[in-house]
């Protein structure tokens, strides 16, 4: 009923028990190639890590997965230590005893079985790259500190405690209020976002995270991870205080039900904190004709969670500004995925280790933004600039290129579907039929910050399963039967997708309707030497803003109690004149709670 048709069993996500049974089969098959494994990898197979890929075949009904094998060293990520061996397992039959290993790949060659691989090795028909078993202290990608701890860095503290309130899943902060939650599959989501009591957003939710790879190895070249199928919210583990979030942040447990008859808890897996951006929200120093200074520091409320999806860690931020703006941001960190370097491998990435190819890939993220700007009924308006050549009114023998504002109201969904990597109108707003004091429609502007790669060609047999990626922005009428842009079932049957986002866009009118903005952000990542041991967050963040545009009569932050203003004739060091002069003296560091971490429990 939910999807308007049958949902075949072969579309189901792979469970933990299924992975265990697959690994058992792989271990059985590896025992058929003992001399090869000893020669190539100093291994008997039991100490090799196995990494899944997805999707699992080429047509609906297939459930055959390439698994990539790596050296597994305790205490470090194995993702940078491929041994060159990959196996294709057909696990589509409902009887585990009928599962089969269909193909074996090693160093550019394909074999029908591990027995054939062993035979080719014994007959000296196989080029073997001998890789020593890495030692924990020198393994590529080790995150063990190389220097003793130094002096601690700056710490943020709250002189009079938090200025926000968290009650159950409801947050309030300086005019803002909203409810937060976590979907085990699609991850973080917010509802009923209000500023000064007026709802701005009904739903703001992550929908999907796509990682699409290139390689000259079968596992890498066929990988298109749809992370919602694995569990973006389910794999948001406990946050480390003082590093993942400020030490004094509020930490919240999240609960989910998956592959179990009882709920599981990821304790302290979501954090809420006020952040001093060390940047003025606005300021001005006046040097004439009157002398004064006025400004407001940029303090932001942040809701954050971090998902670890196999090798990658995604940092999900939702930020609330004193100007009435909402900022949504994601950073990617963690380990890159890699392939065994052979042949023309550098056509698909960079060499980052003795035998390791950092494989190129793109990260594309999809969000649902159900804006209700001054009510449910909104229209989509765009504004951009053009130049017009006019004669100077005061000197008619001369001309001037004058910029002017081109305004347009988009009437239908097809007009409001903006393809990826094409120019977007610089100002694009959800507009209310009501106006502000100055006669302009009360509006909220969508401003996207993204460096997306190229979308999968529409000729691909699986493209419709990720057709949301065609658009950097698409605006549709809100429908109860279109709650999400994808489904957990799209990963394992992308050829007959359970949900096809492109079908949401059917040229319906979008004037004075209840509208939803669907936003794609992302970036192309070509791994390089500096991605070892981990990808850094610097430069690897994308997102979007929801900014008031004539929604108010003036900047609402003028009412902030944090504002600073003083004139030249005043004593700026006086507490009554300048609140910055009233900060309490600190004789020693604030009293912090004892550090605790239980993130390795209940995995």
Cα angle vertex 67, ends 23, 17, to 5°? Answer: 35
User: How sure is the predictor about 235, in pLDDT bands with cuts at 50, 70 and 90?
Assistant: very high
Q: Domain total for the chain? A: 2
Residue 579 inside a domain? The answer is no
Tell me the C-alpha distance between 174 and 162, whole Å.
12
Residue 39 sits in a domain whose CATH number is 3.10.450.40
> Is there a single domain that holds both residue 61 and residue 182?
no
β partners of residue 378: 513
The candidate with the shortest Cα–Cα distance to 43, out of 86, 76, 72, is 72
Predicted pLDDT at 602: 67
Single out the residue in 92, 123, 154 at which a domain terminates: 123
User: How sure is the predictor about 588, in pLDDT bands with cuts at 50, 70 and 90?
Assistant: low
Residue 534 has pLDDT above 90, yes or no: yes
Predicted pLDDT at 450: 97
> Is there a single domain that holds both residue 459 and residue 380?
yes
- Which strands sit side by side in the sheet containing 109-111, from one edge to the other? 48-52, 64-71, 82-90, 100-106, 109-111
Judged by DSSP in three states, 443 sits in: strand
pLDDT tens-place string over residues 274-324: 999 999 999 999 998 999 999 999 999 999 999 999 999 999 999 999 999
pLDDT tens-place string over residues 476-499: 999 999 999 999 999 999 999 999
Residue 555 inside a domain? The answer is no
β partners of residue 431: 379, 443
> Is there a single domain that holds both residue 119 and residue 214?
no
Residue 535 has pLDDT above 70, yes or no: yes
Q: Give percent of the chain above pLDDT 70.
A: 99
> Is there a single domain that holds both residue 192 and residue 289?
yes
> Is there a single domain that holds both residue 107 and residue 188?
no
Per-residue burial over 473-503, b if 16 or more Cβ lie within 10 Å, else e, is: bbbbebeeebebbbbbbbbbbbbbbbbbbbe
Residue 70 inside a domain? The answer is yes
Give catalytic residues, as residue numbers.
Answer: 227, 312
Q: Are 377 and 512 in contact (CB under 8 A)?
A: yes
- In the chain, the largest separation of any two C-alpha atoms, in whole Å, equals 93
Instruction: Classify residue 580 by burial, with Cβ atoms within 10 Å: 0-12, 13-18, 19+.
Output: middle
Structure tokens at 561: 């109690």
> Is there a single domain that holds both residue 80 and residue 186?
no
Q: Are 504 and 510 in contact (CB under 8 A)?
A: no
Q: Are 336 and 363 in contact (CB under 8 A)?
A: no
Predicted pLDDT at 581: 85
Tell me the C-alpha distance between 105 and 123, whole Å.
17
Judged by DSSP in three states, 507 sits in: coil
Predicted pLDDT at 586: 66
Residue 93 has pLDDT above 70, yes or no: yes
Structure tokens at 524: 């192309």
- Domain around 116: 9-123
Residue 260 inside a domain? The answer is no
13, 60, 90, 91, 173 from 95: Cα distances, Å? 17, 19, 12, 9, 55
HSE-up of residue 173 (Cα within 13 Å, Cβ side): 25
Instruction: Pick the range with the lowest mean pLDDT from 360-364, 432-436, 580-584.
Output: 580-584
Residue 370 sits in a domain whose CATH number is 2.70.98.20
> Is there a single domain that holds both residue 306 and residue 415?
yes
User: How sure is the predictor about 154, in pLDDT bands with cuts at 50, 70 and 90?
Assistant: confident
User: How sure is the predictor about 592, in pLDDT bands with cuts at 50, 70 and 90?
Assistant: confident
> Is there a single domain that holds both residue 456 and residue 371?
yes
Predicted pLDDT at 504: 97
Q: Which residue has the tokens 């065609």?
A: 470
The DSSP line for 242-275 is TTTB-TTSEEEEEEE--SSSS-EEEEEEEEEEEE
Residue 557 inside a domain? The answer is no
Predicted pLDDT at 589: 65
Q: Are 118 and 35 in contact (CB under 8 A)?
A: yes
The DSSP line for 175-232 is TEEEEEEEETTTEEEEEEEEETTEEEEEEEEEEEEEEEE--SSHHHHT-EEEHHHH-T
Query: Could you tell me which residues come within 8 angstroms of residue 56 by beta carbon, excluding any fewer than 6 positions away?
Result: 62, 63, 64, 65, 492
User: How sure is the predictor about 76, in pLDDT bands with cuts at 50, 70 and 90?
Assistant: confident
Tell me the C-alpha distance between 232 and 366, whole Å.
13
Sign of CA dihedral 371, 209, 499, 190: negative
For the whole model, what pTM was predicted? 0.95
**Cα radius of gyration (the chain):** 28
Predicted pLDDT at 86: 98
Residue 585 inside a domain? The answer is no
> Is there a single domain that holds both residue 223 and residue 104?
no
> Is there a single domain that holds both residue 45 and residue 119?
yes
> What's the chain's average pLDDT?
95
Residue 542 inside a domain? The answer is yes
Tell me the C-alpha distance between 428 and 441, whole Å.
13
The candidate with the shortest Cα–Cα distance to 225, out of 111, 74, 66, is 66
Single out the residue in 123, 158, 192 at which a domain terminates: 123
Q: Are 337 and 213 in contact (CB under 8 A)?
A: yes
Single out the residue in 533, 549, 565 at which a domain terminates: 549
φ, ψ of residue 79 in degrees (nearest 5): -65, -15
Sign of CA dihedral 72, 76, 81, 85: positive
Residue 568 inside a domain? The answer is no
- What is the average per-residue pLDDT within 461-465? 97
Expressed in angstroms, the distance from the first to the final Cα of the chain is 34
- What is the average per-residue pLDDT within 161-177? 96
> Is there a single domain that holds both residue 35 and residue 177?
no
Ranges assigned E (strand) in 335-457? 338-340, 349-353, 356-359, 361-371, 377-392, 395-410, 417-419, 427-435, 441-449
> Is there a single domain that holds both residue 98 and residue 182?
no
Residue 587 has pLDDT above 60, yes or no: no
Contacts of 16-24 with C-beta under 8 Å, sequence gap 24+, read 16/259, 17/259, 18/91, 19/52, 21/91, 21/96, 21/99, 22/50, 22/65, 22/67, 22/89, 22/91, 22/99, 23/50
Return the number of other C-beta atoms located less than 10 Å from residue 391's C-beta: 11
Tell me the C-alpha distance between 510 and 203, whole Å.
18
């Amino acid at each position: 009923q939910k999807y308007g048709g049958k949902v075949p069993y072969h579309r189901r996500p792979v469970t933990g028990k299924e992975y265990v049974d697959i690994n058992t089969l792989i271990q059985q098959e590896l025992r058929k190639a003992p001399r090869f494994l000893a020669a190539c990898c100093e291994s008997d197979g039991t100490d090799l890590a196995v990494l899944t890929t997805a999707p699992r075949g080429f047509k609906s009904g297939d459930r055959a997965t390439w698994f990539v094998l790596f050296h597994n060293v305790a205490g470090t990520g194995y993702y940078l230590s491929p041994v060159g061996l990959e196996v294709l397992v057909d696990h589509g039959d409902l009887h585990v005893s009928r599962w089969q290993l269909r193909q074996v790949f090693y160093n550019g060659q394909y074999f029908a079985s591990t027995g054939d691989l062993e035979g080719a090795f014994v007959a000296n028909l196989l080029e073997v790259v001998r890789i020593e078993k890495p030692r924990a202290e020198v393994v590529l990608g080790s995150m063990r500190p190389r220097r003793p701890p130094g002096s601690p860095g700056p710490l943020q503290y709250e002189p009079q405690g938090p200025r926000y309130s968290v009650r159950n899943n409801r947050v309030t902060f300086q005019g803002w209020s909203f409810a937060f939650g976590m979907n085990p599959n699609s991850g973080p989501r917010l509802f009923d976002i209000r500023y000064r009591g007026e709802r701005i957003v009904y739903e703001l939710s992550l929908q999907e995270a796509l990682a699409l790879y290139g390689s000259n190895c079968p596992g890498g070249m066929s990988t298109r991870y749809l992370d919602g199928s694995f569990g973006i919210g389910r794999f948001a583990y406990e946050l480390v205080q003082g590093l993942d979030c400020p030490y004094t942040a509020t930490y919240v447990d999240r609960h989910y039900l998956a592959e179990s008859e009882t709920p599981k808890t990821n304790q302290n897996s979501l954090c809420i904190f006020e952040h001093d951006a060390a940047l003025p929200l606005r300021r001005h120093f006046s040097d004439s004709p009157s002398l004064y200074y006025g400004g407001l520091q940029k303090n932001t409320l942040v809701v954050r969670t971090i998902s670890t999806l196999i090798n990658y860690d995604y940092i999900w931020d939702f930020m609330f500004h004193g100007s009435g703006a909402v900022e949504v941001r994601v950073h990617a960190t963690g380990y890159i995925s890699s392939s065994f370097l052979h042949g023309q491998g550098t056509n698909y990435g960079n060499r980052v280790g003795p035998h390791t190819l950092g494989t190129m890939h793109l990260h594309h993220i999809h969000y649902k933004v159900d804006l209700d700007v001054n009510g449910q009924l909104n229209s989509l308006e765009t504004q951009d600039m053009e130049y017009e050549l006019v004669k100077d009114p005061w000197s008619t023998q001369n001309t001037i290129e004058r910029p002017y504002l081109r305004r347009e109201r988009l009437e239908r969904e097809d007009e409001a579907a903006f393809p990826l990597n094409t120019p977007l109108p610089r100002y694009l707003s959800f507009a209310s039929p009501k106006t502000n004091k100055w006669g302009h429609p009360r509006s909220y502007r969508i401003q996207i910050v993204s460096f997306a790669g190229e979308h999968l060609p529409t000729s691909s047999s699986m493209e419709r399963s990720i057709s949301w990626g065609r658009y950097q922005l698409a605006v549709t009428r809100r429908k109860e039967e279109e709650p999400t842009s994808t489904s957990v079932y799209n990963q394992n049957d992308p050829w007959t997708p359970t949900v096809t986002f492109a079908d949401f866009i059917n040229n319906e009118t979008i004037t004075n309707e209840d509208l939803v903005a669907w936003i794609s952000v992302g970036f192309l990542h070509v791994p390089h030497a500096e991605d070892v041991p981990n990808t850094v967050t610097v430069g690897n963040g994308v997102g979007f803003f929801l900014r008031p545009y004539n929604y108010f009569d003036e900047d609402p932050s003028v009412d902030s109690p944090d504002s600073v203003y003083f004139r030249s004739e005043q004593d700026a060091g006086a507490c009554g004149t300048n609140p910055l002069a009233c900060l309490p003296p600190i004789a020693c560091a604030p009293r912090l709670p004892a550090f605790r971490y239980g993130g390795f429990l209940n995995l």
